[in-house]
Structure 1
């Protein structure tokens, strides 16, 4: 296939596309995926009265320990013409280049790729000359037990003096994901953020003002807020704490305006359904309300949804772990103890316990609670410090 993300990229690496437009719109980078060594796995449609193609699907599935697909990266002009293949083959005999995790364009039509080894402990950022396909290694990062992929790689324009053509990178080398400024050669010039909390996503950059906007957990791991920090580290002073721009507890998802003066804030909490506001990017002040949930939501009272109780326990190593308790109504089912269901997610990079309306409307947990069953939801990796 060409220009499509294969199974591993979509399911395990959160890469949903297989093609990327250059910043000036003149070139397209794309993947070529070779499935020839991947066996087919048949999925039957349960309940079908027929047999044959209508009752089954065959998919190329890379089994654990077996071969993966082979992925090449090519570049073609948007006006057509020959393809230039980059000096890269993922899934081949070199286990250091097993997975093509991310592809990004930088300014001046420089193409970069993030490549991960098979054990997912080593990530390389490669830079390609799209005319020849020649590659250079810009940066290598190695972490144990694995590297968490992200989308924080952000190229910088040539408008920032000595940081021209560099990039922002996010690393967990301190145990928490934080932002770092790198020059065009990959040399780290210093941290942009630090502390016992994590950066989630970069929301935008104002290079002219020297500011970077991001969402993170500075105010606690159960919430997410928009913050602003200086883009360029000051060598002669200590790193200043980021400035919080969102108001109100809970989870905030933001979209910044292109002119970098306003932002849309979509937020909710355990006690409040989502609402949408237009805010000032300078100080976070409210400009106008775009959407407010109605005071009474049809059908909600009948469901008798009660927000879970957020609790925390201490792990043996001192790490604070958070959980959500959905308690049965004592007036209906009497005092505890109750039958209990423990809901655990053991995979990396997914947090299920936080101050968000989505936990209040967890209908499976609420249904079990309504039947007298206590639901205890906890995830051990939620602080992102494993």
Structure 2
């Protein structure tokens, strides 16, 4: 897991180089015939990448984006209809490209008229063959059951797709520096969080907007690799019912991605620290955070708000691998899990 997560920067560089023309062509095609709706098809870590896609597409392009419910096809065999005059875009995200329920759902959407774009690491998989526009992740073999570089490359693929479609200048300008920034982020020292979570049993993972996806991913990785129950929340949503259980000593890990979303995460983390929680906050703006006895700051690189989530999760992956080992687990072979989950 450590070695593969460390390869994320190189994997993203390969993805960008391999798909440069396909992305440019896809962006032009989507501008010429914009879909009225985007549907994402994914499970597990890939579905967390789909959360990122939802925020990116809705924010920068204004196109409603929703996650497909696979069971409507695989269990209930429900018909799916698309607007023939303005068919949806279906974005399928998968490391393996083999899950039967994903394939059945993508096939059903394609048959209804949707254009299928696949972000898939296995470019010989059934999903890659099914796609109208396959975008190989080029992450290389991923042996550890816990996906790392393929998840980061999926986020990078979404960012590159949205940049090509929207022609957003800030996002487009941020992409070339991403591989180096990922390498730098992976090298950051989050040992304070590792030590603080050594004996934990539960915690909250907090971010907002573009960053919600990595809070979800971090919660999953803690369960998979470290036997630690993490629950992901938006810094807005956590202010409702969940906030009631955050009391003295309760662990919280916050991901500040900058902008308004990051400011809200900083405020929630400060509030939790004031009530005695054990809060770890990854932030590139330490001077914007008021000191509190229960608040520990983790180093993070400054970046465009849309790119920052990729850098934060790279730092987290290094930390959680070390945490898994220190808690007596094997992060590469979580119990009861396999690399390819063939759900139906």
Query: Which TM class, normalised by the smaller chain length?
Result: 0.3 to 0.5
**Higher RCO by CA contacts (8 Å cutoff, separation 6 or greater):** 2
State which structure, 1 or 2, has the greater radius of gyration over its C-alpha atoms: 1
Q: Which has the higher strand share?
A: 1
Provide the TM-score with structure 1 as the length reference: 0.30
The TM-score normalised by the length of structure 2 is: 0.32
